[in-house]
Every structure is written in C-alpha cells, then in structure tokens.
Amino acid sequence: MNDINTVTLVGRLTRDAELKYTTGGQAISQFSIANNQSQKKGDEWVDFANFFDCALWGKTAESLTPYLVKGKQICIMGRLKQDRWADQAGQNHSRVGINVSHVQLLGGNREGKPQADNFHDDIPI
C-alpha cells in the first residue's frame, strides 16, 4: 500500500528556470520557489520564507520554462522526493525537493492582463 505524498504550494520563483536534458533525452526544468509565511512571536508578527527546489519534467518543462522567470508567482502540485548521498569523506547528506506534476502560472502576463488557460497537468511522475 502506498502512503500519501502530495504537496501544493504557492510561491515566487527565486531564479529563472533552467532547462536541461537527461542522457536519455528527457527534458527537466529546475527552479526554486520561495513560500512566504508569517508567525507570531510574542506580540509581533514575523515574516519568513521557506525555499523549495523543484523539478518539472517532459514536454511541459520544455513549453513552460520560458515563462518560469524570477519573481513570477506560481502554484505547483507534486510529490516530495528525498535524495540521499555520501560525500568522499563518507559523510551522509540528504535533500528534499519537489517533483512537480502540475503548474499554474498566477497573476497577469507582462502587459498585466489575466492569463486564461494556464494550468498544466500532463506530467507523469
């Protein structure tokens, strides 16, 4: 039985997406988003951000990468994926990223007009 592993985030891109290809020719667009939050500490609200590394695959990665630019607000849905490795000294490391299955571009286009159909969900995980 599989456990549930689903994440939905809204955030802003911290850098332009970078499109690469695996040795097998599969497209992968890598980007990072910042998800801003507020938390009450004492009598004050303190703002902070969480940063998430994301990977978008396939034809959707190829078509969306030009629109995934620094500062753009997006909504993503996907699965958390933990990578584990040991360095040359034998020290173990791990990193959690998001394999993105759905992307929605939020806000307007460069002219400030709303974008109509911008939800993409044809990515196999």
99 is a domain residue:
yes
Distance CA(106)–CA(115), nearest Å, equals 8
Amino acid at site 94? S
For 86-103, write each residue's pLDDT tens digit.
Answer: 999 999 999 999 999 999
* Across 116-125, average pLDDT: 46
27 is a domain residue:
yes
41 is a domain residue:
no
- 120 vs 88, more confident: 88
125 is a domain residue:
no
List the CATH number of the domain containing 104: 2.40.50.140
Residue 53: give the domain boundaries.
Answer: 7-36+47-120
42 is a domain residue:
no
Q: Please answer whether residues 15 and 31 qualify as being in contact, where contact means their C-beta atoms are separated by less than 8 angstroms.
A: yes
Q: Exposure string (b/e) for 48-82, b if CB count within 10 Å is 16 or more?
A: eeeebebbbbeebbeebbebbeeebebbbbbeeee
For 99-111, write each residue's pLDDT tens digit.
Answer: 999 999 997 554 4
Could you tell me the pTM of the whole model? 0.79
The number of domains in the chain is 1
pLDDT (0 to 100) of residue 25: 95
